[in-house]
Amino acid sequence: MDDIRILLVEDSELDAELIGVRLRGDGLGGNVTRVQTRQAFLAACQGGQFDVILCDYSLPAFDGPTALAIAREHCPQMPFIFVSGMLGEEIAIDLLKRGANDYVLKQRLERLVPAVRQAVAQRRERTEREAVEAKLRASEHRYRLLVENLDDYAVVMADLDGVITSWNIGAQRVLGFSEAEILGKPLATFFTLRQQLSKRDGRPPYRFTVSGALRLPSGVAKADGCAGKVTVEAKLKAKRVARKTASLNAACQFKTTLTAPRKGSISITAAFTGTASVAALSARTVRVTAG
């Protein structure tokens, strides 16, 4: 960490030399830039080429609190340490509340280098942590986009306590429960619901084999009209219990199997996504067998 770039705001030649001696004595004096005016300090802050700011509290051209405000506006993440001859307790507390990282009295410069090292280390750790968190957020976003668009596969996520945190569209279609019914509940709840539904008639969940075909307008070739997919949806008492996407074969026919949590009077609907010239879609055969 000895490559720390230091911006020193100090008008006193003697004090600047004493600070430099202390920094060099502990291996930090090789990269120090000194400024004395507001304009020079502002330009240095906007350049963003420093790791830490050391600033006197009292300056002829402008004061330390003003320098702190400028730094927090133009380089808010840069550590700011006051190095002053006299700082009362109330003033020191006020400066820390305004965003200063630390303060060191000129009569106790032995604290200067440890304070600089600590402030810079904390900033670098925070920067690295924020970079990792940003990558994790981006990765999670990409993963969620992938998961949420998986129509035919159930993807369920739970936290370390077993509480369901994600229930994708595929889970709703394949497993028959909506996100609102499951999200935030223990993972065991899902299995309990399926067991309860199955025990109502003493039989396991049911499978539906659904087949159908597209009816094409006259003059439309099957190769042109059947380019697309069919979404089949099963409802029990007006409530969707299963949904699945099926591909069409060369004869414009489809066949797929859905699973519903219980038997009953089930209605089947089918929707086609593809060529606009298709005239109609029919789910012509529905066979229900025990799963």
Q: At a CB cut-off of 8 Å and minimum separation 6, what does 222 contact?
A: 216, 250, 251, 252
The predicted-structure confidence for 266-276, as pLDDT tens digits, reads as follows 677 766 666 54
> pLDDT tens digit string along 84-126?
987 788 888 999 999 999 999 999 999 999 999 999 999 999 9
C-alpha closest to that of 197 among 262, 258, 289: 262
Strand ranges across the sheet with 253-260: 253-260, 206-215, 280-290
Q: State pLDDT tens for residues 23-68.
A: 988 888 678 999 999 999 999 999 878 999 999 998 887 889 999 9
Quote helix, strand, coil % in the chain, to nearest 5: 40, 30, 30
> Of the candidates 120, 31, 141, which has an alpha carbon nearest to the alpha carbon of residue 77?
120
Higher pLDDT, 263 or 134: 134
Position 225 pLDDT exceeds 90: no
Q: What are phi and psi of 60, to 5 degrees?
A: -65, -45
Can you give the residue ranges of every domain in the chain? Answer: 6-128, 149-199, 204-290
What pLDDT does 258 receive? 75
How confident is the model over 159-172, as a mean pLDDT?
A: 82
Which residues lie below 8 Å from residue 220, measured CB to CB, with a gap of 6+?
277, 278
At a CB cut-off of 8 Å and minimum separation 6, what does 136 contact? none
Architecture of domain 149-199: 2-Layer Sandwich (3.30)
Structure tokens at 116: 């600089």
- Residue 143 near residue 121, CB atoms below 8 Å: no
> For residues 260 and 226, is the Cβ–Cβ distance under 8 A?
no
Q: Answer yes or no: same fold for 6-128 and 149-199.
A: no
H-only helix segments in the chain: 13-25, 38-47, 64-74, 89-98, 112-148, 169-175, 179-182, 187-199, 222-225
| Section 221-227 average pLDDT | 63
For residue 52, the model assigns a pLDDT of 94
Q: Output the pLDDT for position 40.
A: 93
Sort 196 into a burial class: Cβ within 10 Å, 0-12 / 13-18 / 19+.
Answer: exposed
CATH code linked to domain 6-128 = 3.40.50.2300
For CA atoms 213, 218, 220, 222, give the dihedral sign: positive
Joined tokens for residue 198? 């199955």
User: pLDDT at position 286, please?
Assistant: 41
Calculate the average pLDDT of the chain.
78
pTM, entire model:
0.51
So what's the pLDDT on residue 291? Answer: 36
**For a pLDDT cut of 90, what percent of the chain falls above it?**
31
Q: Hey, what are 10's tokens?
A: 């100090």
pLDDT score at 276: 43
